[in-house]
Chains A and B, each alone.
Chain A
Amino acid sequence: MKIFYKEQKVRNGYIAAFVLLMISYFLVFFVLWQMEKRVMLVNKTSEKINNLDILLSCVNESENVFKGFIIMQDSGLLDSYRNHNHCAESSFQTLKKLLEVDDAQLKYLDTLYTRVSANVSLSDSTLSELNGAKAQEQNIKTRLARQSANVKEIRRIVFEMQTNETKQLASSSTEFETTSNTLKIVHLTTFIIALLLLIYSVLVFNNVSKEKLLYREQLEDGFKKLKTANNDLINLRSIEKFAASGRIARAIAHEIRNPLTSISLATEQLESTLVEEEEKSMLEIINRGINRIHLLIQELLNSTKFSQLTLDTVSLNTLVYEVIDLAKDRIDLNAIKTVVNLDTQPCIIKADREKIKVALLNVVVNSIEAVEPEKGIIEITTQQNDGKCIVSIKDNGSGMDENELSRIFEPFYTLKENGNGLGLTLAQNIVLNHKGDITVKSKPNNGTLFTMVFNSNE
């Protein structure tokens, strides 16, 4: 559970870092937008100031040209005067648009417009007087003086308006700087927090990885234990099956031996009273039957009982050699090829030498009988693994299906015409008696593999 809790923490860390990154991005966009706004503001302000300059110069020029016209009476100058007036008018229109949202500056502009218009109308009056019959010099002078005063006032207003614009720009600059500074702080803080979260996440992640590794090891360990337990269980089951077979065999033996005794004793009694040869030969048949049953019962008991072992330390390789020697006649008779792969390091086990040899021989004989003469190959291998000595006997015989395989160690179960079905039962008995394990793997037409595992004595 701990590991999942930590993973949740890592996830939260990454989410937080992501959110902070988003905030950072947003701030960057915000700053860019602000900067764009500011550039526009600067452009607009300089445009306003320029237009005010243009307006002022037009008004000045208009006044100067008009004065020149009065003195020189040159109609060319009058055209120039009119052009300058147009220039002033167009500047006004531009400024009016530029100052649309600024009421204070618009008021100034209105005053400016009134003054300029006043000058124009004064000039118009002078012009019409000059065109008329009686031109009054005094009147013209007075008008010119008033025009000069107006131009002065216009210059003052333009200057004031320019100062206002500059001030507005400066105040917006200060505002932008403040915002920019605040944003810098926010940026830096976000960056530090994101960095810390990242470091924390990496650390936690590493920790989780280690724990995961540990968890994995624990799981693998558990799996191994489970496998061992499962194997033990399978062994126990075969031991239990074997013990059950033993119990049944003993019960049967007891029940058969009693009537067998009666038959035996009764036959003897008859023997002493009968004289006819034919009758005696009948008794012989009975006696042979008694002996056969007696031996069968004895074999059944031997193959299913836990017997006393005379333990000795023996090399599994040596036992295999001895067993092959014992089976040599049968191997040669059927022209069977044997392949012997023995471990270079002899594996030593604690065993009843003769009994283990019987077990091995029974399995080898089973293989000899399972293969086809002249085509049969029997492969005997020994190896060591994890404190165990393993011997496997593999043949290329006809193999068995699952049903046959499950009954292979049962007493009296045989697939051969001449078998008594006790050979492998006895082999299993001996191996189990040695606290070993015998397993068989087989598939129809695919040969059979017997594996016997013993505890190493080293």
Chain B
Amino acid sequence: MKNVKAGLKVLIIDDETEICYLLTKILKGKGVECYSVYSLSEAKSFLNTFSPSVIFLDNHLPDGLGIDFLGYLRLNYPEIKVVIITAHDTLYINGKNVEPEDIEIIYKPFNSNRILVALEQATRN
């Protein structure tokens, strides 16, 4: 198991409540302060009160695409590292590859180790 920096704050944005529940449980077990929300609008209001170091962002959400939300995050919270999670093979939109080069992407299904590796990489710098 990877080691995680102490006192790390993580926000999970995914409409799959079970995944949110399990991820939160795993990360809390590693000593991470972790919360989860199920939509982009919830995330926006939640970020007013909570400042995470890392966000695990699902791409397909009820009120929009995670990849589109990325711009908002970079503008308002440039210090937050983002890891995108998707159940699709690529982030193709209308036949165009929009995969951002500097963003870590996790493809479903994944195990807890994959999450922890991503978390470690995101907080290394």
Contact = CB atoms under 8 A, between A and B. Distances in A.
B108 A265 contact: no
Contacts of A131: none
B17 to A, nearest CB: 9
B26 A257 contact: no
B56 to A, nearest CB: 12
Interface string B12-27: 0000101100110110
Contacts of B25: 269
Interface residues of A, number: 20
Contacts of B88: 250, 253-254
Contact of A264 (B60, B89, B109): B109
Contacts of B22: 262, 265-266, 269
Given A253-B87, A254-B87, A264-B111, A269 B26 contact: yes
B112 interface: yes
Interface string A258-288: 1111111110110000000000000000000
Contact of A268 (B18, B60, B111): B111
Contacts of A253: 87-89
Contacts of A262: 16, 18-19, 22
B60 A254 contact: yes
Q: How large is the interface on B (under 10, 10 to 19, 20 to 34, 35 or more residues)?
A: 10 to 19
Given A262-B18, A265-B111, A265-B112, A257 B23 contact: no
Chain A contact residues: helix, strand, loop or mixed: helix
A250 B87 CA distance: 9
A290 B26 CA distance: 19
A329 to B, nearest CB: 32
Given A262-B18, A265-B22, A269-B22, A257 B87 contact: yes
A305 interface: yes
Nearest to A267: B111
A258 B16 contact: yes
B92 to A, nearest CB: 9
A265 B89 CA distance: 20
Interface string B98-125: 0000000000111110000000000000
A96 interface: no
A264 B111 CA distance: 6
A350 interface: no
Interface string A284-308: 0000001000100000010001000
A261 B16 contact: yes
Contacts of A250: 88-89
The 7 A-B pairs with the shortest beta carbon distances in the complex, nearest first, are: A265-B22, A257-B87, A257-B108, A262-B18, A260-B109, A261-B109, A254-B87
Interface of B: 16, 18-19, 22-23, 25-26, 60, 87-89, 108-112
Interface of A: 250, 253-255, 257-266, 268-269, 290, 294, 301, 305
13 contacts: A253-B87, A255-B87, A257-B87, A258-B16, A258-B87, A259-B18, A262-B19, A263-B109, A265-B23, A265-B111, A265-B112, A269-B22, A294-B109
Given A253-B89, A266-B22, 14 more contacts: A257-B109, A258-B16, A258-B108, A260-B108, A261-B87, A261-B109, A262-B18, A263-B109, A264-B110, A265-B19, A265-B23, A265-B111, A268-B111, A290-B109
